[in-house]
Amino acid sequence: MVAAIGATTPASGGGSDVNAQIAKIQRQITDTQKKIADTQGDLLKAPNEEARKAIQMQLQAMAAQVIMLQQQINMLRTSQVQKEALESVSKAVSSAKHSGHGNRTNAEGVPIGGTVDVQA
């Protein structure tokens, strides 16, 4: 019947880990598509209505499997983009703090480069 979908690990690793996971899922999609093509041939050769209905159910299940695998790829890609964006923001914040564009103070704790309220 239909092979079970293997669970993928979360996209917690680097980009190459995500790419490896995507490649694995793409191979599963290709294998499932080949099974669909073979099963469609069986559908054409089915001797009676009952056999055709059973084969159609298999085809629908395999099509649903392909859709779920494609959704897994989309989720992996989305999580990788979000991770890269978060890393970029973190680097920018860290860089701003270390490059002197952050809030610096003098020896007395008064902010340097800030606005000061002076009363006459």
What is the pTM (predicted TM-score) of this model? 0.63
**Average pLDDT over the chain, rounded to an integer:** 83
The confidence band for 101, taking pLDDT boundaries of 50, 70 and 90, is low
Q: Which domain covers residue 68, as residue numbers?
A: 15-91
Asked whether residue 51 is domain-assigned, the answer is yes
pLDDT tens for each residue of 11-35:
445 567 999 999 999 999 999 999 9
CATH number at residue 74: 1.20.58
**Tokens for 84?**
């890269």
